[in-house]
């Protein structure tokens, strides 16, 4: 069998930069798509295509022969309504439609904890907030993520495509603040999650939290485990330093009552 091809959109962004070395394999071609070239040039087994997800016909060409698309491209923070509609909602529709036209039946979509940011931490059940907890977006950005999740559901139901939506917490090399201790997904766990998404047989439509096995976590790991994602890292190693720097989470702070934190009160549509 020849090498399998995996497409990554948003390939010049922070998440893709962490992911690329973790999904590289001798028997895998990685096609990197973004508006601009990545700071770290393509390595052996990687190719770069300058492409906006606004370009449906171009995406159909780029996806030809691919086994899966990992869609990370778009606005990754709060932005104007025009921008989240163009880059996130329309862009994700184009990715799903291009995958369908190109015959790619597995798509991983980058959703976010901000799709459900208005849930109250006091309502988190034992075992964590389920990955399919109803949408309660905290921003226009969060609303765009709810929209891409439902687009994924549509393509899964209509066309039998496998669409896994990752409600990502914070996927950075380390958590930046105390709230991040609940949301962090380590780079290695991110690699494990993507491998699980690529290898789990016939997943259909799934919602899965993108988080590590955090001692202070708020999110269920069960849905990830059901597709073979077994996180191994824990943000607790950063707890002492972050709490010394910022103080503990103030349980009475109204902004921190919600899982979306202060994203529940930032000005709508203004880049943060």
Ligand X SMILES: NC(=O)c1ccc[n+]([C@@H]2O[C@H](COP(=O)([O-])OP(=O)(O)OC[C@H]3O[C@@H](n4cnc5c(N)ncnc54)[C@H](O)[C@@H]3O)[C@@H](O)[C@H]2O)c1
Active site residues: 141
- Long-range CB pairs of 249-254 (<8 Å, 24+ gap) are 249/178, 249/179
Query: Does 189 sit near ligand X (CB under 6 A)?
Result: no
Query: Does 259 sit near ligand X (CB under 6 A)?
Result: no
Query: Does 80 sit near ligand X (CB under 6 A)?
Result: no
Backbone angles phi, psi at 190, to 5 degrees: -60, -45
Strand runs labelled E in the chain: 4-9, 28-34, 46-50, 68-71, 106-112, 162-168, 205-210
Query: Does 176 sit near ligand X (CB under 6 A)?
Result: no
CB closer to ligand X, 79 vs 161: 79
Q: Which one of residues 70, 140, 156, 170 is an interface residue with ligand X (CB under 6 A)?
A: 170
Residue 2 C-alpha from the chain's centroid = 28
Percentages helix, strand, coil for the chain (3-state, rounded to 5) are 40, 20, 45
Expressed in angstroms, the distance from the first to the final Cα of the chain is 47
Q: Which one of residues 172, 188, 200, 213 is an interface residue with ligand X (CB under 6 A)?
A: 172
Per CB under 6 A, the segment of 52-60, 151-159, 192-200, 246-254 that binds ligand X is 52-60
Q: Which one of residues 7, 135, 168, 208 is an interface residue with ligand X (CB under 6 A)?
A: 168
Per CB under 6 A, the segment of 9-17, 128-136, 213-221, 249-257 that binds ligand X is 9-17
Q: Is 1 helix (H, G, I), strand (E, B) or coil?
A: coil
Which spans of this chain sit near ligand X (rule: CB under 6 A)? Answer: 9-10, 12-16, 34-36, 52-54, 72-74, 76, 87, 91, 110, 112, 168, 170-172
């Amino acid at each position: 069998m020849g090498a399998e091809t995996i497409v990554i959109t948003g390939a010049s962004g922070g998440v893709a930069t962490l992911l690329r070395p973790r999904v590289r394999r001798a028997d895998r071609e990685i096609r990197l798509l973004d508006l601009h070239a990545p700071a770290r040039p393509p390595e052996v087994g990687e190719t770069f295509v300058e492409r906006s997800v606004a370009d449906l016909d171009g995406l159909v060409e780029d996806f030809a022969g691919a086994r899966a698309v990992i869609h990370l491209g778009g606005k990754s923070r709060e932005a104007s309504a025009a921008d989240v509609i163009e880059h996130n909602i329309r862009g994700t529709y184009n990715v799903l439609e291009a995958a369908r036209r190109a015959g790619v039946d597995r798509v991983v979509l980058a959703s976010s904890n901000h799709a459900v940011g208005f849930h109250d931490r006091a309502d988190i059940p034992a075992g964590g907030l389920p990955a399919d907890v109803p949408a309660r977006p905290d921003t226009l950005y969060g609303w765009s993520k709810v929209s891409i999740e439902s687009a994924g559901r549509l393509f899964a139901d209509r066309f039998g495509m496998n669409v896994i939506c990752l409600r990502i917490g914070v996927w950075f090399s380390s958590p930046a603040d105390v709230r991040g201790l609940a949301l962090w997904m380590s780079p290695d766990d991110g690699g494990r999650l993507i491998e699980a998404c690529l290898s789990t047989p016939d997943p259909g439509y799934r919602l899965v939290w993108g988080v590590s096995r955090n001692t202070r976590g708020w999110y269920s790991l069960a849905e990830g485990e059901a597709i073979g994602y077994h996180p191994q890292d824990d943000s607790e190693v950063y707890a002492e330093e972050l709490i010394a720097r910022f103080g503990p989470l103030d349980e009475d702070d109204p902004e921190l009552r919600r899982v979306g934190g202060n994203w529940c009160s930032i000005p709508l549509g203004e880049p943060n």
